Amino acid sequence: MQFETKASRSRESVGPPGGPTVTVPSSFTIKVTDLEPYDLRFETKWDERERRLTIREATFLTAGDEPVRMAGIIRVAIGDLVDQAMEAEVLGERGWPGVVEDHPDEEQERVDALVYLLSVALGSPKPSANVAIARGLSPASGPKRVGAARKAGLLPATESGRPSAGLSSFDKAARAKRKR
């Protein structure tokens, strides 16, 4: 399997209120070749409301005269492929630990919030685990670290089991505090 990833020049800033931040491309074109049964092409674009890159277009190409079939499409792990390509482009070879290494003088909760929000922005299904992985810890310790960052007001409130980085989540949390 081969990836070809093109990132846009325009960038979006990702991070907790007050920083630190990382910029990510506001769109990607991702081509995946040498993958059975199809070659794939995806377009992702930044969604400001959700504060993440979302797939806006998907193209499936077959070799020869074979038709594209739904049974073949559902076997393709689209989300995993797109996440893998975007993470490789944004994080490079250092992966999640590189985000922590780049911010040695920041408070731990702020860097944990940055890793979480960056994970969500890149579409990772496991942003809490990525926080722990970034620090060289067991993935099971991620939720505790994310909880501390959320308690410090660096992450928006969310429903259990549903990652969120959207502005609407910050707005909802702010409204709930005003009602108290």
Give the span between the Cα atoms of 147 and 113, in whole angstroms: 10
Pairing of strands 22-25, 27-33: unpaired
Q: Which two tokens stand for residue 59?
A: 């193209």
For the stretch 137-180, pLDDT in tens is 999 999 999 999 999 999 988 766 556 555 444 444 444 444 54
Instruction: Give the number of residues written for the chain.
Output: 180
- For the chain, give every domain's residue range: 2-151
pTM: 0.83
What single letter denotes the amino acid at residue 28?
F
> Do 124 and 130 form a contact (C-beta atoms < 8 A)?
yes
* pLDDT exceeds 90 at position 66: no
Mean pLDDT confidence for 79-98: 93
For the stretch 105-129, pLDDT in tens is 999 999 999 999 999 999 998 999 9
> Do 96 and 115 form a contact (C-beta atoms < 8 A)?
yes
